[in-house]
Structure 1
C-alpha cells in the first residue's frame, strides 16, 4: 500500500514536470522536440491515472495524486528556471545621460543600443540590451551596481533578425 502511494506521487511529479518542459519547448518554437516529449508525458500520465483508478477504494490515493501534481508544478518551474531557454531584451532607462553604462555593458559581453530620450523631468539615456535569458540576472545586477536608480523592463522576444549581436548569441 505504501509503495503504491510513493509510486503515484513520483509518477505525478514526473508527469507534470515533463508537461511543463514540453510546454516551454513548444512555446520556444521547437515542435519536433515537443512532440517527442509529449509521448513520454502521456505514457507517464496513463501509468499514474491507471494506478489511481485501480486504487480508488482509498481517498488518500487521490490526495497523493494531487500532491504529486502540485510538487510537479514546482519541480517543473525550478527546472525551467535553470534551463533559461531563449533570449530577453532588457530596456534600461537611466538619469545619467553621460553614463559609462553602455560601454561597460559591451565590455561585459552584452549587446547594447543606446539613445537619448525625454523623461518627465529631463533627458534620459535609454539602453536596449539583448542577452541570453540565463544571463538576465547578471545583467540586472550589473546595471544595479552601476546605477541603483535605473528603471528596467524585460521582454522575451519571439523572433528577431539581423544585427551583429544575433550572430554572437547563437
Structure 2
C-alpha cells in the first residue's frame, strides 16, 4: 500500500513536470526544458521501476494510472496559472472602433489595424499581441467595448522587434496602476 501511495505521489509530480517541459520545448526554451526533463527522467525511472518490480500488483498499476490522470489535471492547472508566452488575437469588427483601439493601446497591448473587404461590406481587423497572463484582461476590454467582435487566437512561438518592447511593459504597468 505504501508503494502505491509513493507511485501516485510521484505521478502527481511527474506529469506536471512533463507538461511544463513540453511547453518550454515548444516555446523554444530548450535549456529550461532540459532541466525539467532531468527531473522528469528521474521520477519516471523510480515510479516505473516500482511498478515493473511486480506486474501482478494491480494496486501499484492502478496508482500509476490514477496518478498520471491526476497529474494531467494538475499540470493543466499549473500551465494556465503560469501562462507562459504570448498570444495573438485577430479581432474582426463590422466597423472601426477608435475607442477599442485606444483602450487596448492605453492598456499596453500591441494593436495593428487592417481594413479588409468582406462579402457584403468592408471589415476592420485588429491584430493584437498580448502576454498570455493578460489574456483575461484583454477579453474583458473586448467584451465591454465590442461584445459582437469575432475573435481568433493563436500562440506565438517567437517574435522580434515591433511594439513588444519595454514600452509595452511600461504601458501595461501604468494601465494597471490607474486601476482599469
Q: Is the structural similarity TM-score above 0.5?
A: yes
1:96 CA drift (Å) = 2.5
Name structure 2 gaps, 5 residues minimum: 170-180
After the TM superposition, which residues 109-128 of structure 1 pair with which residues of structure 2 at under 5 Å, given as runs? 109-128=108-127
CA distance in 2, matches of 1:73, 1:92: 32
Contact 2:89 2:154 in 1 (8 A): yes
Alignment of 1:79 with 2:73, yes or no, is no
CA distance in 2, matches of 1:47, 1:98: 58
1:56 CA drift (Å) = 3.0
Write the deviation string for residues 104-138 of structure 1: whole angstroms up to 9, x where unpaired.
Answer: 11112211111222222312221111111111121
List structure 1 runs of 4+ shifted beyond 2 angstroms.
Answer: 53-58, 96-99, 164-170
Contact 1:110 1:130 in 2 (8 A): yes
1:99 CA drift (Å) = 4.0
What number of residue pairs does the alignment pair up? Answer: 169
Aligned residue number for residue 46 of structure 1: 45
CA distance in 2, matches of 1:22, 1:86: 14
CA distance in 2, matches of 1:66, 1:164: 46
1:5 CA drift (Å) = 1.8
- C-alpha RMSD over aligned residues: 1.6
Name structure 1 gaps, 5 residues minimum: none
Write the deviation string for residues 20-59 of structure 1: whole angstroms up to 9, x where unpaired.
Answer: 1111111111111111111111111111112222343321
CA distance in 2, matches of 1:148, 1:164: 26
CA distance in 1, matches of 2:97, 2:12: 51
Q: 1:165 to 1:35 in 2, by over 3 A?
A: closer
Aligned residue number for residue 36 of structure 1: 35
CA distance in 1, matches of 2:12, 2:139: 32
CA distance in 1, matches of 2:38, 2:46: 13
Q: 1:166 to 1:120 in 2, by over 3 A?
A: farther
Contact 1:95 1:124 in 2 (8 A): yes
Contact 1:111 1:130 in 2 (8 A): yes
Alignment of 1:97 with 2:96, yes or no, is yes
Contact 2:91 2:149 in 1 (8 A): yes
